[in-house]
Amino acid sequence: MEEAAFEPKSTAVPATIAPSPVMDTPSPGPDEAPEYQLDVPSFAPVATCLPSVSAPGTKTWRWGDVTIVTPEGSGVHVGGILGPQAQPVMAIFSETDTSERILIDAFSGQLVSAGPDDDPVFEKQKEIGAALATVSICPIDPSTAPWPYAGPSPNGPRRTLGKISFLQPDPASGVQWTFEIDDPGGMFLLLQTARSEVAIDAETGAVSQETARIHADDKVAFDRYIATIQIVEK
């Protein structure tokens, strides 16, 4: 998704979301074992919590209660996977081959699955193994977490989807965005944490109250984020 120029004439979309708490604990993972044993780098979550703000030259990633630190330019990317019935998991994967990935539980940090589905050869062990060595379990503290939980909103970067302009969250906040296209319904920006999700119409900026599921701990952060969304005049 390309970053687009910001239009000064844009107007902000107001934020009004009713809290709709979801369960804190994820659903159990699948019971069936893989057909073969993948060669996965060994790791165990560290006991100490890592800083919310990334140190120079590094990037901190959060999803749920799990944090990972990678060096800038490491070739490793981290993202969250959230579904209405699925176990929330953090995916650690190669930027050059997204099938080369490890999934860990977003709350316990335990291994869920690893490697390409059709190939037991795990080629990115060195890169992903280094990231796994930094896994820590640390529940988020909204009072010290990066924006949109605390502090002022950043000046950028901004991205556009349809007619809305929105900010790129700090990966250390545990807030991420993705999008979906419904037919009928059009395109929606999905704002997510491991516990919450809200859909925002990419043409109007309207928040879908029917599908929103917002955990109480994320309510203020989601309101603050949505308040910075702007309609792009074209």
Instruction: Measure Cα distances from 173 to 129, 165, 193, 196, 216 in Å.
Output: 23, 20, 9, 13, 16
Residues 82 and 107 in one domain: yes
Per-residue confidence (pLDDT) for residue 74, from 0 to 100: 84
Nearest Cα neighbor of 60 from 172, 159, 139 is 172
In this prediction, residue 14 has a pLDDT band, given cuts at 50, 70 and 90, of very low
Measured distance CA(86)–CA(217) in Å, rounded = 20
Residues 146 and 227 in one domain: yes
Measured distance CA(65)–CA(221) in Å, rounded = 16
| Within a domain: 15 | yes
Task: Tell me if 115 sits within 8 A of 40, measured CB to CB.
Answer: yes
Residues 146 and 226 in one domain: yes
| Domain edge (last residue) among 137, 163, 180 | 137
| Domain edge (last residue) among 86, 113, 137 | 137
| Within a domain: 46 | no
| Within a domain: 43 | no
Residues 160 and 112 in one domain: no
Residues 71 and 114 in one domain: yes
Residues 161 and 83 in one domain: no
pLDDT, one tens digit per residue, over 96-139 is 877 777 888 999 888 887 765 545 456 667 778 788 888 888 88
Residues 125 and 148 in one domain: no
Question: What string of DSSP letters covers 110-175?
Answer: -EEEES-TT----TTHHHHHHHHTT-EE----TTTSTTTTSSPPPS--EEEETTEEEE---GGGT-
Quote the domain boundaries for residue 169.
11-22+142-231
When the pLDDT of each residue in the chain is averaged and rounded to a whole number, the result is: 77
Residues 146 and 225 in one domain: yes
| Within a domain: 194 | yes
pLDDT, one tens digit per residue, over 26-70 is 444 444 444 334 455 556 666 566 555 567 788 999 999 999 989
| Within a domain: 150 | yes
Backbone angles phi, psi at 173, to 5 degrees: -80, -20
| Within a domain: 102 | yes
Measured distance CA(188)–CA(182) in Å, rounded = 8
Residues 133 and 172 in one domain: no
Residues 162 and 195 in one domain: yes
| Within a domain: 1 | no
Residues 222 and 147 in one domain: yes
Residues 72 and 15 in one domain: no
The domain tally of the chain equals 2
Measured distance CA(63)–CA(139) in Å, rounded = 10
